[in-house]
Amino acid sequence: MKHIYNETKKGAPVFVLLHGTGGTEHDLLPLAGMLNPEYNVLSIRGNVSENGMNRYFKRHGEGQYDLEDLEFRGGELHDFITEASEEHGFNPEDVVLVGFSNGANIAINLMLRESAKYKKAILFAPLYPMTLQDSKDLADAEVFLSLGKGDPIVPEDESVRVVGIFEDRGADVTTTWVHGHSLPQEAAEKAKEWLNG
């Protein structure tokens, strides 16, 4: 998978950056530097193309996921992160998943994978509409969620559903509400406080 790996400090936590639809592996690098400049960075480009736009998994329409592809691509991404951890010598448990929109959605899939050990995520404008059958215990996980009021893509009840996905599995969840389907400075600042507090 196309990616960037930047090592700032050996042994530091690693941001895994996951862009939104149509983005690239460069999009969230400034955000990572703002959240904590001492963290290492693995930024990954989605390898699904939708009308020339990069995504992490296929969909049939807005909010209508190709569930089979989501599961396959989530496994593929998890394997890639695992391989990168071996190549660059970091512990997958030290990963902080940082995703916006489509990137946040695949990050939820990663967090819910039974074989995965991701414990921390910062997710902006996530949407995960399907009923999940798994019962993974996330009691040792911490999640920061930035959700949108008046989001044209994610209805408010769907944002609340995402909160429930994590709370129902015992995760420590912190939320902030912004306007629309966005990643504003105010949300990034709150995520920074949460991460480093």
Q: Is the pLDDT of residue 83 over 80?
A: yes
Q: Where are the alpha helices (DSSP H) in the chain?
A: 29-35, 67-88, 102-112, 156-167, 185-196
Span 144-168, mean pLDDT? 96
Q: Is the pLDDT of residue 63 over 80?
A: no
Span 70-82, mean pLDDT? 96
Q: What is the pLDDT of residue 131?
A: 59
Q: And the tokens for 187?
A: 């949300």
pLDDT-derived band of residue 133, with 50, 70 and 90 as boundaries?
A: low
Q: What is the pLDDT of residue 135?
A: 77
Find the domain containing 19 and state its range.
3-196
Q: What is the pLDDT of residue 64?
A: 85
Q: What is the pLDDT of residue 61?
A: 81
Closest CA to 94 of 14, 195, 29: 14
Query: CA 186 to CA 161: how far, in whole Å?
Result: 23
- Tokens 């910062």, located at residue: 122
Q: Which residues are catalytic?
A: 101, 151, 181
Q: What is the pLDDT of residue 132?
A: 60
- For the chain, percent of residues with pLDDT exceeding 70: 97
Q: Is 22 exposed, middle or buried (0-12, 13-18, 19+ CB in 10 A)?
A: middle
Query: CA 69 to CA 128: how far, in whole Å?
Result: 14
Our count of domains for the chain comes to 1
Q: For position 52, which CATH number holds? A: 3.40.50.1820
What are the backbone angles phi and psi of residue 38, rounded to the nearest 5°?
-90, -10
- For the chain, percent of residues with pLDDT exceeding 90: 90
Q: Which residues of 40-68 are buried (b: 16+ CB within 10 A; e: fewer)?
A: bbbbbbbebeeeeebbbbbbeeeeebeee
Q: What is the pLDDT of residues 1-19, one digit of tens each?
A: 999 999 999 999 999 999 9
Q: What is the pLDDT of residues 32-50, one digit of tens each?
A: 999 999 999 999 999 999 9
Q: What is the pLDDT of residue 112?
A: 94
Query: CA 116 to CA 96: how far, in whole Å?
Result: 13
Q: What is the pLDDT of residue 55?
A: 97
Contact criterion met (CB below 8 Å) for 153 and 122: no
Partnered with residue 3 across adjacent β-strands are 44
